[in-house]
Structure 1
Amino acid sequence: MANQQHQILGHPRGLFLLFGTELWERFSYYAMRAILVLYLTDTTLNGGLGWTTKEALDLYGIYTGLVYITPMLGGWLADNYLGQRRSIMIGGTLMAIGQFTLALPADMLGLSTVHSFYLGLALLITGNGLFKPNISTMVGDLYNEGDNRRDGAFTIFYMGINLGALLAGVVSGSVTNSFGWKAGFVAAGIGMIVSLVMQMTMAQSWLGNIGREPAVKRDLKLKKSDKKEPLTKSEMNRIKVILVMSLFTIVFWAGFEQAGGLMNIYTQQYTDRMIGGFEVPAAWFQSLNPFFIITLAPILAVLWVKLGKHEPNSPKKFAFAMFFLALGFLCMVGAVMEQGGDTAVKTSMLWLVGAFFFHTLGELCLSPIGLSLVTKLAPLRLASLMMGAWFGCNAIANYVAGYVGSHVGELGAFAIFSGIAVTAIISGVVLLLFANTLVRWMHGAESPVSQAEPIEQPQTQIA
């Protein structure tokens, strides 16, 4: 049993174990993702697969889509059969094997190079489906209903995700340049092993029985029943809130994900990236988002707790996210206006820095808050499944982002950037108008209780 009285920075120490576990898992994921398309399109002479850019991007889209969809299945398995902690261990093991499968010479596995590559991706997708929804759900299990530290906890947890992402690009890129593509996959595999070792050696003392028992079984024990009961009216209302808020996350991410597409192209082609005699590589601007998250997340985490009873509710935080997204795209509108219709004019890079700054503030008001919201509202027996469904919205948003960005040739950057800004503002206003209704449907889940008592874990040890 974990001693939940042990705290770090005002939070149960189990949060920081989950922070570290997720940090190294995300390091593994992003280290592999950073080199995936480059590996596919590199010549076979240099150790790549020699695919065309279209073939590589098509596979990349399928891979990232499956990564966001499989958590629904992984969440369901955890809720009903495996439990969250066992799902994390199985998923992490599959991902580690997948990374090393990509790294090993295909003939060692008795497969062709392409078949070995597909096997590695399949293991990564399957493992991610088991890991991703359950690590997030366990963060919520550290806190009682009404504990106002929960949003701050997810903001800290979210910082771990982005610290892993920031380290991944640097490490993966460095070892790949020095030792080749396979070394990059090995680095990703080692990161996953570090994540697994942390869970294996520290979970019982830092987490106790959190995540050991399937949620359905735990729910039946709490209700002293031997069969599943129909969802109550309040549970249905809470699920409605999750679904409504999910729609707004699609709007947000469809705009936000322009960073890797249309904004990336704009950076490359139309931004003055010269500092003295040095030209800043366009890819470096992609590091602004994780940098701002790491610097701003602790500030917001403290702010949410300090506000106490005056802390904005989740719908209002989502509205702030939409307004920050709009401000970011207004910066991009400013960049386009600076060109004055002349595509030969290079615009100031400060417009991009401003856009990434505001987008990151929006992300911190929405993404960790959304993860926290699901753990507050989802019925216990559906907790991981609903978390998986929440991640599934990212798959839809990524598709919408690509569809919108692909029309830049017809509509122009000004129309797309301003259109996203207007859509975000309207969405934020709608959220503010219906915030009280949504909070009412939550049936008290957001009633602030400062420094609520830690969760008492069952005394029974589960084998």
Structure 2
Amino acid sequence: MPHNLTPSTERNWFGHPRGLSVLFLTEMWEMFSFFGMRALLVYYMTKHLDMDQEYASLVYGAYAAFVYFTPVFGGMIADRWLGRRNAVVIGGITMALGHFMMASEPLFYPALATIALGNGLFLPSLASQIEGLYRDGDPRSKTAYNIYYVGINLGGFMAPLVCGSLGEWYGWHWGFAAAGLGMLLSVAIYLAGRRYLPPEPPRRERVATRPPVDRAVIDRFMLLIGIAAIVVVFRGAYEQTGNTIALWADQGVDRQLGNWVIPMTWFQAINSLVVFAFTPLLVARWARLARRGVETPWLAKMAFGAFVVGCSFLMLAAVEAWCEAHGTRASWLWLVAFFVLLTTGELYILPVGLGLFGRMAPEGFRATSIATWFFAGFFGNLLAGALGTLWSQLSHPWFFTLIAAVAGLSASLLYMLGRRIGDVEIHASAAVVLAR
């Protein structure tokens, strides 16, 4: 029996198994490296490599897309051949190599490809180990993904402050090097805490025990793909945070605070700060409602989150319209307010969606299922990159209005899908598949 499923009294962090802390810290430092590099990427391309904005937006979108594309194949490789533990270690080392390669301008494109390839093995293989930490029916598993999501964003909070400051003040390459060191620390933590994670069956056993791909499994994946397709639309809006929002922070925001100018990369840390500040409050609220028998449908939560994100961009449209009419730049406080509102919506859709894909995964296909969720990020980032090219062609108020409409469209689609299939059907279908 797995070590982490035996003692029900084994508690370490928020009353969860120790293995969740290991996965939390591993992902935290991986996200430190990822968001550290991402905070610098658009500025590095436009200010150091002298790319024009439209081309830089496309490169950014293509890179971010392939970060989410490679996990589809990485998840399959982990499920079928490597095993999740080996995939995490190999992927992490590969990503660290890519971050260090960013220090050389001629290796810019190969470095981006190396990071994306390593991420393909690392990302689904790490997240897919969460469900194995809990017995079937353990109520703690419902909030495990939200807690894991805090780890993602704790790393994302530190990254712009550390890597962004090093890049802006001492040189972009120092920021990329710090991101590489964060990735190495992530791998070291994972290796040190392996004994607390779900055991990895031998490859022969993994292949032998995998259930057949029958109609139930196909139907489950078709539903997941449908949800992922709507999330693609949502990410077209959400992924502007590291692209056009970063450009707006540099060009359209008054960052003066007394005699000091706030570094432009620091604002990207607000997103993660709000995540780990608000997540405990949301988890406690949902747990309190669950004890009273009140369960908000999964897709209704996600639809609400997309709607709130749309409102955050609509707020920026109004702010920019006022600023253009008065010939001034927006106060940095509006950028802070934007990230607070956007992140509040994010908490209702991204961690909830990740948890939904983890709980509905057919046995033997968990990493593949998680990879399907991340695959939505591939097309979503391609869409975000394409939309980002309009930044130089539209007025900023109209651009933000367009992005708000994209987020609103995803909210409507999620709501209609939830009304059509019903949350009860999701839980029932998941139970059938997981019981196989």
TM-score bracket for the superposition, by shorter chain length: 0.7 to 0.9
1:190 aligns with 2:181: yes
Of the three residues 267, 285, 288, the one matched with 1:285 is: 267
1:219·1:380 contact (CA, 8 Å) conserved in 2?
Answer: no
Distance in 2 between the 1:379 and 1:446 partners? 8
Of the three residues 364, 382, 386, the one matched with 1:399 is: 382
Q: What letter matches 2:117 in structure 1? A: T
Q: Partner of 2:97 in structure 1? A: 97
Q: Partner of 1:31 in structure 2? A: 36
Q: Partner of 2:352 in structure 1? A: 369
Distance in 1 between the 2:392 and 2:110 partners? 37
Of the three residues 402, 415, 418, the one matched with 2:401 is: 418
The CA deviation at 1:321 is 0.6
Distance in 2 between the 1:265 and 1:175 partners? 19
**Deviations along 1:126-155, whole A, 9 cap, x unmatched?**
211100111111113323455443342111
1:325·1:424 contact (CA, 8 Å) conserved in 2?
Answer: yes
Q: Partner of 1:253 in structure 2? A: 235
3-state secondary structure, aligned to 1:373: helix
Q: 1:316-331 counterparts in 2 under 5 A?
A: 316-331=300-315
3-state secondary structure, aligned to 2:364: helix
1:74 aligns with 2:74: yes
3-state secondary structure, aligned to 1:444: helix
3-state secondary structure, aligned to 2:213: coil
Q: 1:110-125 counterparts in 2 under 5 A?
A: 114=106, 120-125=111-116
Distance in 2 between the 1:118 and 1:345 partners? 38
The CA deviation at 1:374 is 1.0
Q: Partner of 1:2 in structure 2? A: 3
Q: 1:224-263 counterparts in 2 under 5 A?
A: 229-233=212-216, 235-263=217-245
Distance in 1 between the 2:425 and 2:24 partners? 31
Change (3 A) 1:189 1:348: closer
Distance in 2 between the 1:271 and 1:98 partners? 32
1:238·1:443 contact (CA, 8 Å) conserved in 2?
Answer: no
Distance in 1 between the 2:208 and 2:288 partners? 36
**Deviations along 1:46-80, whole A, 9 cap, x unmatched?**
xxxx5645676655444333222111110010111
1:376·1:445 contact (CA, 8 Å) conserved in 2?
Answer: no
Q: Partner of 2:149 in structure 1? A: 158
1:71·1:388 contact (CA, 8 Å) conserved in 2?
Answer: yes
Change (3 A) 1:301 1:101: same
Q: What letter matches 2:123 in structure 1? A: K
The CA deviation at 1:416 is 3.5
The CA deviation at 1:176 is 5.0
The CA deviation at 1:178 is 7.4
Distance in 2 between the 1:280 and 1:181 partners? 17
How many equivalent residue pairs?
Answer: 423
Q: What letter matches 1:93 in structure 2? A: I
1:271·1:348 contact (CA, 8 Å) conserved in 2?
Answer: yes
Q: What letter matches 1:367 in structure 2? A: L
Distance in 1 between the 2:328 and 2:128 partners? 48
3-state secondary structure, aligned to 1:442: helix
The CA deviation at 1:2 is 1.6
1:390 aligns with 2:373: yes
Of the three residues 419, 423, 431, the one matched with 1:439 is: 423
Distance in 2 between the 1:181 and 1:410 partners? 28
3-state secondary structure, aligned to 1:378: coil
Q: What letter matches 1:329 in structure 2? A: F
Q: Partner of 1:333 in structure 2? A: 317
Q: 1:295-306 counterparts in 2 under 5 A?
A: 295-306=277-288
Q: TM-score normalised to the size of structure 2?
A: 0.84
Q: What letter matches 2:411 in structure 1? A: G
1:331·1:354 contact (CA, 8 Å) conserved in 2?
Answer: no
Distance in 2 between the 1:332 and 1:220 partners? 54
1:428 aligns with 2:411: yes
**Deviations along 1:232-277, whole A, 9 cap, x unmatched?**
33x3332232122112212221112222333344444444444445
Distance in 2 between the 1:143 and 1:327 partners? 37
Change (3 A) 1:58 1:399: closer
1:148·1:305 contact (CA, 8 Å) conserved in 2?
Answer: no
The CA deviation at 1:403 is 2.5
3-state secondary structure, aligned to 2:223: helix
Q: Partner of 2:434 in structure 1? A: none
Of the three residues 169, 174, 192, the one matched with 1:201 is: 192
2:298·2:356 contact (CA, 8 Å) conserved in 1?
Answer: yes
Deviates more, 1:292-301 or 1:175-184: 175-184
3-state secondary structure, aligned to 1:138: coil
3-state secondary structure, aligned to 1:372: helix
Distance in 2 between the 1:251 and 1:42 partners? 30
Q: Partner of 2:87 in structure 1? A: 87
The CA deviation at 1:18 is 0.1
Q: TM-score normalised to the size of structure 1?
A: 0.80
Distance in 1 between the 2:108 and 2:335 partners? 36
The CA deviation at 1:410 is 5.0
Q: Partner of 1:313 in structure 2? A: 297
1:17·1:198 contact (CA, 8 Å) conserved in 2?
Answer: yes
- How large is the Cα RMSD of the aligned pairs? 3.2
3-state secondary structure, aligned to 1:368: helix
3-state secondary structure, aligned to 1:380: coil
Gaps of 5+ in 2: 432-436
1:21·1:195 contact (CA, 8 Å) conserved in 2?
Answer: yes
1:241·1:441 contact (CA, 8 Å) conserved in 2?
Answer: no
Q: What letter matches 1:243 in structure 2? A: I
Change (3 A) 1:311 1:10: farther
3-state secondary structure, aligned to 2:296: coil
Larger Rg over CA atoms: 1
2:69·2:374 contact (CA, 8 Å) conserved in 1?
Answer: yes
Q: Partner of 1:19 in structure 2? A: 24
The CA deviation at 1:157 is 0.9
2:26·2:187 contact (CA, 8 Å) conserved in 1?
Answer: yes
The CA deviation at 1:422 is 4.3
Distance in 1 between the 2:169 and 2:261 partners? 23
What is the aligned-residue identity percentage?
33
The CA deviation at 1:220 is 4.4
Gaps of 5+ in 1: 44-49, 107-112, 448-463
Change (3 A) 1:172 1:330: closer
Distance in 2 between the 1:293 and 1:39 partners? 26
1:146·1:446 contact (CA, 8 Å) conserved in 2?
Answer: no
